[in-house]
Amino acid sequence: MSNYEIFVYGWIAIGFLSFPFILRYDAPYGRHTSNSWGPLVDNKIGWIVMELPALIICPLLVLSSGNPLSDVTIFFIVLWVIHYFNRTVIFPLRIKTKKKKMPLIITVLAFFFNIVNGLVNGIYFGNIKFDYSNSWISSPEFIVGISVFILGFIINNKSDTYLISLRKGKDKGYVLPREGLFKYVSCPNFFGEIIEWLGFAIMTWSVAGLAFFLWTFFNLVPRALSHHKWYKKTFPDYPRERKAVFPFIL
């Protein structure tokens, strides 16, 4: 087993070990923001800073590797950049979070998480599997994976757009969402992102993609459960049949 594989499997193991502890705490940002976690920073700035390493590090490592990248490998990195440009630049500029803050410690932790995330994927696609053949696009893994990825991307962004629209031109706080997949789960935006990176793991059929999918799951499922609990506490008429993140399941 290579040093890279040891590192990535160790990173995955840390995720599994951390998951029970992540489940116990409401991450103190967004609607759960708390100043008991130390100094606060502007919410938009925090979002940009904590997502920036993934946007920069992965494609930088791939493009500077010096290896002859195949068109398929470049395609995977383009998908990566599209996602992270949206999360790093477009999404923070769209959200209606005037005067909102998040703990600096959350920004710092997420910043370092995305450094590791960028390294794991950048090293893999730049130095280990930089030569996917063109025939890969006709493989079952690619066809299933890209379909799941696109579906997740659409769900994630449509759900975010709907949430943003609920507060457009208003400053009245949170509103009970009732449309689209919100009829079935409290956090379809998280559901979309989870299946988006499941699709990435399938279409690349890589340990790097697997690690990213698992860590997305480890981070977003507890977040969704916290949101779900908050919705039920905040809105007395909250639909009882609605799940937290996976329709009809959880």
Residues of the chain with pLDDT > 90, as a percent, come to: 63
* DSSP single-letter state for residue 185: B
- Please give the helix or strand (H or E) that residue 93 lies within, else none: helix 91-94
pLDDT mean across residues, the chain: 89
pLDDT greater than 90 at residue 1: no
pTM > 0.75: yes
Higher local confidence (pLDDT), 23 or 202: 202
Contact 246, 188 (CB under 8 A): no
3-state helix, strand, coil in the chain (%, to 5): 70, 5, 25
- pLDDT score for 34: 57
Element (H, E) at 7: helix 3-24
Residue 173 confidence (pLDDT): 65
Domain ranges of the chain: 3-234
Q: How many of the other CB atoms lie within 10 Å of CB of 139?
A: 14
Instruction: Look at residues 120, 134, 138 and name the one whose alpha carbon lies nearest to residue 201.
Output: 120
pLDDT band, residue 29 (cuts 50/70/90): low
Identify the residue with better confidence: 2 or 175: 2
